[in-house]
Amino acid sequence: MTPPAAPAVLNRPLRWRAPSPAACAAACAAPRFIDLCCGESLPRQAWQTRQELTQGLLAEAASVSPKFFYNALGSRLFEAITALSEYYPTRTEAGIFKAACPQMAQALAQAGLPHPCLIDLGAGNCAKALSLIPQLAPRQYVPVDISVDFLKDAAGQVQNCFPALDIVGVGMDFSAGLALPAEVQADDRVFFYPGSSLGNFQPAQALAFLRHIADPAQGRARGLLLGIDLVKDTATLEAAYDDALGVTAAFNKNLLRNVNTLLGTDFDVRQWRHVALFNAAQSRIEMHLEALSALSVSWPGQTRRFRAGERIHTESSYKYTLEGMTALLRQAGFRQVQHWSDPQNWFAVFWAAV
């Protein structure tokens, strides 16, 4: 498949046009979809989940992985978070894409990638990629997400808007490895990882993940477009994770309801308080749930006692400096690194070429 109107560095325009709304409405092509989420049998997956949750809850410093935020309600609450005035990352990143997309397309073209295979990690509703596709002109678009049904719908909508674009949706948990199916083009791969999701990894894990993407035997990336949140004053950071309406508090507490469903615990969300704080020494926002009084939580075969004020760590969201992220990308094997930022330097989008 050849995308319309090839962008070029020199004398051709970098834009190609989205089809008209009439063409979108008329189109009915369905993208290919490969579901790799079902590698393990469902009972085995459920057993592994219970093991992981039990281990975290019984640890001296109790923790639950942030992946357990995202049940159906949690995904909606996260969408609501992105619309909050306090949660600046989403709109700031969107502003950077809007302002710098032509330069991004040019950087890709200069790296010999005028029509990349665009691999969208954690694609969700594909909205961020949708805004870039007209200018990045991918030969193939590969949205990847663990939330299979949601992604199928979203990929279908992208296909309706770009009927001639080769789309391969992939349902997989890429945090567990990036073995993409054979249907994904091996050449000219550009990974797209927006939203500062890399910040939810510990720095050592983030480095390993970036290395994996850049590795010619694994991710085979030629380049990476990465959105990352930057260090800033504590008040702005803490407000973004503890908003006045209490949406982030509900998002955090909903994790306990999800754990009740998955593990059979008897958490009562009214006995827990949302805590968000910036740990400057570690350069991360931490989210916790704090017990309002001494209490016990039970599930089949186990009980955990919590003292009043004892916490369950639910998320870390690392904040980087421009220099720190540049160094991390270089350490991971990306040789050319550049970035675009907003006027306040609150957020940055990096282009890193292997």
Binding site for ligand AVI (CB under 6 A): 81, 89, 195-197, 199-200, 241, 248, 315, 317
Minimum CB separation of residue 84 from ligand AVI in Å reads: 9
Nearer to ligand AVI, 7 or 195 (CB): 195
Minimum gap (Å) between residue 205 Cβ and ligand AVI: 14
Transcribe 210-235 into DSSP letters. HHHHH-TTTT-EEEEEEEEEB---HH
> In angstroms, what is the minimal distance from the CB of 234 to ligand AVI?
15
Tokens of 69: 């935020």
Q: How far is the CB of 77 from ligand AVI (least distance, A)?
A: 9
Contact in structure between 226 and 93 (CB atoms under 8 Å): no
In this complex, which beta carbon is closest to ligand AVI, that of residue 220 or of residue 284?
284
CB of 98 to ligand AVI, least distance (A): 20
Give which of 56, 72, 184, 66 is closest to 120, Cα–Cα.
184
Torsion of CA 323, 325, 328, 329, to 10 degrees: -110
Residue (197 or 271) nearer to ligand AVI, CB: 197
Cβ of residue 248: shortest distance to ligand AVI, in angstroms?
A: 5
d(CA 237, CA 152): 34
Nearest to ligand AVI of 16, 347 (CB atom): 347
Scored b (16 or more CB within 10 A) or e, 317-330 reads bbbbebebbbebbe
CA distance 123 to 142: 9
Measured from the CB atom, the residue of 139 and 274 that comes closer to ligand AVI is 274
Sequence-ordered list of residues with C-beta below 8 angstroms from that of 85, at least 6 positions apart, any chain: 243
* Smallest distance, ligand AVI to C-beta of residue 21, A: 31
Q: Which pair of structure tokens corresponds to residue 220?
A: 């085979």
* Closer residue to ligand AVI in complex, CB, 79/187: 79
Strands 221-229 and 189-193: parallel
* Comparison of 81 and 109: residue with beta carbon closer to ligand AVI: 81
Name which of 248 and 258 has its Cβ closer to ligand AVI: 248
Packing angle, helices 72-82 and 247-263, rounded to 10: 170
Q: How far is the CB of 250 from ligand AVI (least distance, A)?
A: 11
Question: Cβ contacts of residue 261 below 8 Å, gap of 6+?
Answer: 71
The token duo for 340 is 């675009």
Q: Which residue of this chain has its Cβ atom nearest to ligand AVI in the complex?
A: 317
